[in-house]
Amino acid sequence: HEEIRKMSKGDITGILDDIEIDSNNIFTICWTSGTEARPKGCPLSHNNWLGISTLQEATGVKPGDKLIVTGPMVNMASVGSVFLPWLILGGCLVLHHPFDLDLFMQQVIKEKVNYMLLVPAILNIIAKHPKVDSLDLNSVRSISTGSAPPSLWVLKEFKKRWNIEIGNLWGQNEGAGIVSGIKDIPDINLRVDHFPHFGKEGVKWKSKGAGFIETKIIDESGNNLTNTGDVGELAYKGPGVIPSYFRNHEITKRGFTKDGFLKTGDQFKVKEENLLSFFERSKDIIIRGGYNISSQEIENYLLEHPGIQDAAVTGMPDDLLGEKVCAWVVPKDDEPIFLPNITSLLFKKGVARYKHPERIEQIDAIPRNSVGKILKSVLRKKILKQLH
């Protein structure tokens, strides 16, 4: 940076004239969010971003739309899902960060916003706001959500109250992305946690960008998993994917398959009708007595409870079973939530008993990073201290 400053203030020397610039030059370096480990740099070229933009049609953004971005403009979510469509399609971009509900609503109403990207935690805040009946979202046509799977309750609440369709995004700063949008998955009950199996041989999707993407589910040995119900790591190939991690050869070597697929580290399940479902990030799976439990699944059930404003689920060590489930909840209106309140809800939903939390911790706020992802490592360390 200092070198560039000196050059900008000095004489014109022509030293830059011989540098060739093309669309494969690196344009940005996005950094992984670092919820568990040191962030990794993801260098994206102009062509990478152009490849990513092919998915914007699936989100429901249209030329001339007014868009609002509520997250920091530093990663794939805000840049790829809001800023980039605005650059390509025109319209108006409204900036909003950090999130303040009153100011947010003023901006949405004044600017007549048509499209927005909101993380599930903010969707939940809006849907459970004490004055939700007076909130005006009539200008909004569609919303995308990501960073974590949303709850079905929230999707149905927005559809019922404002006739707003919410699309579900899965993506990574490495340039990988799948859109579960209205065109490809019109059924809201599926859209909440199912994604199109982009690139599956012989299958065509309505979203044009899907034709440039290949995905497959692989086991630890790299073998393809194709049977319904199989769970494995999502491997991804597409025009948006980075060529390597920034100055990190070892992680690059481990991060790609021999045939050039990005190993995403996220666990997906093979579903019927050419669909996939997000199962869990590998590090967030709770293994209780040999049974795999998705913390995201239980979190989404907890968010349906009228007395819970926000929630997270982690594993906690157990000498007999290896791990048990611990629920972290932020009570709404300071009304305490007890374990029987949770188990009663889960029994009504038909959730298997082994998935039920066996400890509840009430906290003032769920720890999250700047892009809304739950800092599970913070919660796991906290429960370890309390247990010892």
User: What is the tally of helices (H) and strands (E) in the chain?
Assistant: 12, 18
- Residue 95 CA to residue 269 CA, distance in Å, equals 36
Q: Using alpha carbons only, what angle is made at residue 380 by residues 217 and 175, rounded to the nearest 5 degrees? A: 35
41 vs 369, residue with greater confidence? 41
* 341-351 residue pLDDT tens: 999 999 999 99
Strands annotated E in 296-388: 308-318, 322-331, 359-362
CB 262 within 8 A of CB 213: no
- Residue 279 CA to residue 304 CA, distance in Å, equals 19
- Residue 364 CA to residue 204 CA, distance in Å, equals 46
| Backbone torsions φ then ψ of 41, nearest 5 degrees | -80, 135
pTM: 0.75
Residues 84-103 have a mean pLDDT of 91
Q: Is 211 exposed, middle or buried (0-12, 13-18, 19+ CB in 10 A)?
A: exposed
Answer yes or no: is pLDDT of 159 > 90: yes
Of 319, 267, 311, 273, nearest to 293 by C-alpha is: 267
Of 48, 4, 5, nearest to 26 by C-alpha is: 48
Average pLDDT, the chain: 90
Q: Give the CA count within 13 Å in the CB-facing half-sphere of 272.
A: 0
Residue 15's CB: how many other CB atoms inside 10 A?
9
pLDDT confidence tier of residue 35, bands split at 50, 70 and 90: very low
Of 330, 327, 325, 328, nearest to 308 by C-alpha is: 330
CB 271 within 8 A of CB 277: yes
User: Out of 27-41, 284-298, 363-377, which region has the weakest mean confidence (pLDDT)?
Assistant: 27-41
